Structure 1
Amino acid sequence: MREEIDLIAVDDGVEVYLEDTGPLEAPAIVVLHGGPGSSSYILREGLEEYLEGFRVIYFDQRGGGRSPALPEEPGLFTIDALVSDLFHLRDHLGLNTWTLLAHGFGAVPALEYARRSPATTERLVLINPWTNFPWLARQLYRASLALRGVDEDVELPEDGTRLLQEAFATVEPKAAFDRLLFPSQHSRMEYEWLAEGSTVVGADTPGRMFVLNGLWRLDYTPYVLEVRSATSVLVGTLDASSYPEAQTVADLVGGRLELLEGAGHYPWIDQPYAFEEALQSALSG
């Protein structure tokens, strides 16, 4: 299979790590990982066999994964910067149009790109999207209460940043996220086995800078109404970081919603056959 690996310049002297795979003449898909500050490695490991026949572009967003580290300057880590990088990336590859396939946090730059450039967006495929971060903060807060054996039926602060500060004051962030993302110990262990085997250890600078920029106060939902591209939302019903909030995205954009019963945040791990069917349906329109 054809594969080209490169570092490409996007904007303001920033470079991103890129893996361009598959037939050059095939329909193009760009894969947007979550995080912020994560890597495309896990997505390629999980999705590659389902995307045969497409030209698939995996890249590590600025400052994360295998992309060069960036200084701790909040201005370098904004949604606008991530979207600008996508425009530069498409120009570099010489693509007139492409499909954006996004997971978790990657849904926000994917949706914003499609909102700004519908003519170059063939379609959107959003897997367990995160778009309402105050809602996600409330979910993490509830998870922290459950881990401490505290009654979850309590009045919650409105501010997402304050919620996280209170949630993580006594509970490790990973423990709260794990409670939301993984429906079983098996799926968590399989994910961690893949992650540890990747040897990709990116800086946590993107995550910290997005927090400073107010990420946990961002509810992107109102902007979804302005997205006109064909959209499919695939969501695991056991992913408490995305379900049921992800249904709102499908409703507002007038898109297709595929509920994957028994699946968590990484549905190809939990329900590979159901996920494959849903993904193929989403890509074929």
Structure 2
Amino acid sequence: MKKLLFACLLFALIAAPQALHARNKSFYFTTSDSVQLYVRMAGEGKPCLFIHGGPGSWTKYFYALGGSVVEQDMTMIYVDQRGCGRSSSSPDKDYSLARVVQDFEELREHLGYAKWMLMPHSFGGTIATEYAYQHPQRISAGIFVNTTLYLNDALESYVTNGARLLGRPESDFRKAEGSIGEALNGVAYQLNQNNLMYKMIYPKKEMFDQMNAVMDTTLNWDFGSKVWDFPEYAQDFTIKSASLKMPVLVISGNNDLSVGPNHYRLFKFANATYRPMDTGHCPYQEQTAAFHKHVRSFLKKVKS
């Protein structure tokens, strides 16, 4: 789950607010604390904010690897979070959950949307749940794509499944007094050494290679390196999910070993539709047509 870096060449333009709703526009939005967020808007239809994972990744991995299919049905707003991708770092290193949520709210107000949908992926599920919890009146629906809502459970799954792939007992990595993070790092190192890392995310290596093809280590990784200093990201967001009333589509992968194939069973959304798929961590890339079909069917239930 940690430190998946992605990149692309940036051709950004500064757009006036009244021009932002046109198809395929890129611009920088300045937050109230002077962070420059890279924003790309594409598609037509109900507005939907994509919240990328990582933590510390960026949005291109989604729309460049099949996710752009949803632009046929929605106006997608892709935002590289502060300290991520093509966005600038926080001058005072404020990567708190509250500040990231505030960034999204400031952007929504700037764009003039009364409501929008959320589409988080992976670690983005924690941020999306907090955002919807803090601003339920601004969220019309959620599409949670292979997300984690409880980081510790996902990390435990990663260690368990990684050790199994390596053919080694978990005790090789779980040391007395050691943290789950240390166990994770040990498993990840060995998976890399044995060229097995791809199996945590994809059933097929060629998919992993496609993801790496949009990789560029020159992009901003400040958030990814600082996020562990903010313990609020590790809270159990499944508890907060129980209070959320908007319609939610939960897509999960039966072969997703990074967050765990059964992680979604912890979710407590009051109005949820669950769609497990025979994929790994990236169903939009692995089974694009089926992914799109699930999203399109769900959108018929979204009233505003």
State TM-score, norm by structure 1: 0.86
SS of residue matched to 1:182: coil
Assess, with a 3 A threshold, how the Cα gap between structure 1 residues 269 and 21 changes in structure 2: closer, same or farther: closer
Distance in 2 (CA, whole Å) between partners of 1:111 and 1:205 is: 22
Report which of the two has the higher share of helix: 1
Assess, with a 3 A threshold, how the Cα gap between structure 1 residues 222 and 152 changes in structure 2: closer, same or farther: same
Deviation at 1:144, TM superposition (A): 4.4
- Equivalent residue, structure 2, for 1:42: 61
Query: In structure 1, which of residues 207, 218, 241 is the aligned counterpart of residue 258 of structure 2?
Result: 241
Gaps of 5+ in 1: none
Gaps of 5+ in 2: 1-21
Query: In structure 2, which of residues 268, 273, 279 is the aligned counterpart of residue 256 of structure 1?
Result: 273
Query: In structure 1, which of residues 218, 221, 224 is the aligned counterpart of residue 241 of structure 2?
Result: 224
- 2:160 maps to 1:139: no
Deviation at 1:84, TM superposition (A): 0.7
SS of residue matched to 2:26: strand
- Shifted more, 37-46 versus 64-73: the winner is 64-73
Percent identity among equivalent residues? 21
Deviation at 1:167, TM superposition (A): 3.3
Distance in 1 (CA, whole Å) between partners of 2:32 and 2:158 is: 34
- Equivalent residue, structure 1, for 2:13: none
SS of residue matched to 1:172: helix
Letter in 2 for 1:81: R
Deviation at 1:158, TM superposition (A): 11
Letter in 2 for 1:13: S
Deviation at 1:102, TM superposition (A): 1.1
SS of residue matched to 2:275: strand
- Equivalent residue, structure 2, for 1:166: 183
- 2:138 maps to 1:120: yes
- 2:95 maps to 1:77: yes
Letter in 1 for 2:145: I
* Deviations, residues 79-112 of structure 1 (Å, cap 9, x unaligned): 1111111100101101111111111111122121
Query: In structure 2, which of residues 275, 285, 290 is the aligned counterpart of residue 274 of structure 1?
Result: 290
Distance in 2 (CA, whole Å) between partners of 1:158 and 1:81 is: 36
Give the conservation status (yes or no) of the 8 Å contact 1:65–1:200. Answer: no
- 2:34 maps to 1:13: yes
Give the conservation status (yes or no) of the 8 Å contact 2:89–2:223. Answer: no
* Deviations, residues 249-272 of structure 1 (Å, cap 9, x unaligned): 2x44340000112x1111122222
SS of residue matched to 2:179: helix
Assess, with a 3 A threshold, how the Cα gap between structure 1 residues 147 and 214 changes in structure 2: closer, same or farther: farther
* Deviations, residues 190-218 of structure 1 (Å, cap 9, x unaligned): 2222x23xx57423321221112236743
Length, aligned pairs only? 275
Letter in 2 for 1:93: L
- Equivalent residue, structure 1, for 2:6: none
Letter in 2 for 1:231: V
Distance in 2 (CA, whole Å) between partners of 1:155 and 1:203 is: 30
State TM-score, norm by structure 2: 0.81
Assess, with a 3 A threshold, how the Cα gap between structure 1 residues 220 and 260 changes in structure 2: closer, same or farther: same
Give the conservation status (yes or no) of the 8 Å contact 2:25–2:40. Answer: yes
Structure 2 counterparts to residues 81-230 of structure 1, below 5 A: 81-146=99-164, 148-152=166-170, 162-169=179-186, 171-172=188-189, 175=192, 178-193=198-213, 195-196=214-215, 199=216, 201-214=218-231, 217-230=234-247
Assess, with a 3 A threshold, how the Cα gap between structure 1 residues 239 and 227 changes in structure 2: closer, same or farther: same
Letter in 1 for 2:40: E
CA RMSD in angstroms, aligned pairs only? 2.7
Distance in 2 (CA, whole Å) between partners of 1:281 and 1:200 is: 37
Distance in 2 (CA, whole Å) between partners of 1:158 and 1:277 is: 47
* Deviations, residues 104-147 of structure 1 (Å, cap 9, x unaligned): 11112212121122222110000001111111121222244335
